[in-house]
Amino acid sequence: MQQLYSEPIKPELVRDRLAEIRAAGVTVAGALTPQRTQDLYETVVAAGVDLFVIRGTTVSAEHVSSVAEPLNLKKFIYDLDVPVIVGGAATYTAALHLMRTGAAGVLVGFGGGAASTTRATLGLHAPMATAVADVAGARRDYLDESGGRYVHVIADGGVGTSGDIVKALAMGADAVMLGVALARATDAPGRGFHWGPEAHHSKLPRGRRVAVDRVGPLEQVLFGPAPVADGTANLIGALKKSMATTGYSDLKEFQRVEVVVAPYGH
């Protein structure tokens, strides 16, 4: 992975790929790490993105670097004309600080994805249920503090099955980031493999390339019918069934469902 990613980033390729996605008529999001944001954000914005994402293992309100000028998120977000999503964050305080910068959404979690080795490499891990609940608490308090400004909470990491999606939303997430869950599609570009952005770090990789069992086309992964009973297919159908079973028809109401701690594996 390090060898594959050793080629310098070419802004024109970033621009062309974003243009290709836009031509497909779908929502376009451009994502950069905090270290790359200053150098490449103009290229990303000029390509006509609908969302701008700043994503790292953990992101604070001001990214500090010994080799580059710190990224002042509050000023950066204020100057942009597109919504900005920032993460990761795993605590109430860190998330609240990010919300105060003007972020439209906060990515929650680090170290929990199927391809991530952050826990083994750095010794850092945030249980997703706790992290999402804490950040949802920060969202509630910031809603009052800001006079009604709602910031979306997005679970990012460890959401590999339909059951994981259901639990993330129940804990307070508005949305989820899906990696390995979509990599299982037979028409996914990874061709049966998945890897996270940390896998290519030149000095300290914190991810790996993992093989995944391919379930079926993306349509089947998302909407069924499911050929297996392990939560890897018909993700949306499973969410609907779970909400119906617990008596909810609206996601915001579903965030109020009673949650209990159960033994691992149950």
Please tell me whether residue 169 adopts helix, strand or coil conformation.
Answer: helix
pLDDT in tens, 166-218: 999 999 999 999 999 999 999 999 999 998 777 677 788 787 888 999 999 99
| pLDDT higher than threshold 80 for residue 244 | yes
- In terms of Cβ atoms closer than 10 Å to its own Cβ (0-12, 13-18, 19+), residue 171 is buried
What pLDDT is attached to residue 124? 79
- Please report the DSSP string for 29-64 in residue order: EEEE-HHHHHHHHHHHHHT--SEEEEE-SS--SEE-
What pLDDT is attached to residue 113? 74
For residue 256, give every residue at least 6 positions away whose Cβ sits within 8 Å of its Cβ, in sequence order, or none: none
pLDDT in tens, 117-126: 778 888 878 8
| pLDDT higher than threshold 70 for residue 63 | no
What pLDDT is attached to residue 199? 64
Q: Strand 209-211 and strand 51-55: pairing? A: unpaired
In the chain, where does DSSP find H-type helix? Answer: 11-23, 34-46, 73-79, 92-100, 118-122, 128-145, 162-170, 180-183, 218-223, 235-246, 251-254
Which CATH number does the domain housing residue 37 bear?
3.20.20.70
Number of domains forming the structure of the chain: 1
Q: What does the alpha-carbon distance between residue 165 and residue 167 come to, in Å, rounded to a whole number?
A: 6
Residue 4 belongs to some domain of the structure: no
Residue 256 belongs to some domain of the structure: no
Q: What does the alpha-carbon distance between residue 44 and residue 181 come to, in Å, rounded to a whole number?
A: 26
Residue 253 belongs to some domain of the structure: no
- Better pLDDT: 149 or 88: 149
- In terms of Cβ atoms closer than 10 Å to its own Cβ (0-12, 13-18, 19+), residue 160 is buried
What pLDDT is attached to residue 38? 87
Query: 124 is in which domain, residue-wise?
Result: 11-220
Residue 231 belongs to some domain of the structure: no
Residue 240 belongs to some domain of the structure: no
Residue 263 belongs to some domain of the structure: no
What pLDDT is attached to residue 65? 57
Statement: the pTM of the whole predicted model exceeds 0.85: yes
CA end-to-end span of the chain: 36
Place of tokens 């600080």: 97
Residue 255 belongs to some domain of the structure: no
Residue 235 belongs to some domain of the structure: no
Average pLDDT, the chain: 89
